[in-house]
Structures are given as C-alpha cells and as structure tokens.
Amino acid sequence: MNKTVTTPYKTFTHAVEINEKGYKKYFVKGIDVVKVVDPSGKIVSQLKSIQ
C-alpha cells in the first residue's frame, strides 16, 4: 500500500504502513522507518534529516 506520510524532513508519497501492537510504523524503501505513531495518535518518532 502506498501511503503519504509527512515528516520534518519531507513528505513521502510511497510509504508502507505497518500496524504493530497498535503502533503505526511508516517505512520508505531505501530509508527504513520514517515515522512511528502510538495508538493514541501521538508521534513517537519521525525523520528529521538524513546525513
């Protein structure tokens, strides 16, 4: 599934959403996890930059 996910780094239009124990994890090919959201909708982590 292609999902659009926005992070401080950029907006990704081809992310894959995986639900694991209520957490939504967004993966982007070539980068890995770019965002994690907890069951209440709070952002746990998100990509800010790539070095």
Distance of CA 19 to CAs 16, 24, 50, Å?
Answer: 10, 5, 24
pLDDT at 11: 98
Position 51 in a domain = no
- What is the share, in percent, of the chain residues with pLDDT greater than 70? 98
What integer is the mean pLDDT of 3-27?
A: 97
Number of domains in the chain: 1
- Is 17 domain-assigned? yes
Residue 39 lies in a domain: yes
Q: Is residue 20 part of a domain?
A: yes
Q: Work out the pLDDT band at 28, boundaries 50, 70, 90.
A: very high
pTM for this one? 0.91
Domain containing 29: what range? 3-46
- Contacting residues for 6 by C-beta, under 8 A, at least 6 apart: 12
What pLDDT score does 49 carry? 96
* Sign, Cα dihedral of 13, 18, 22, 25: negative
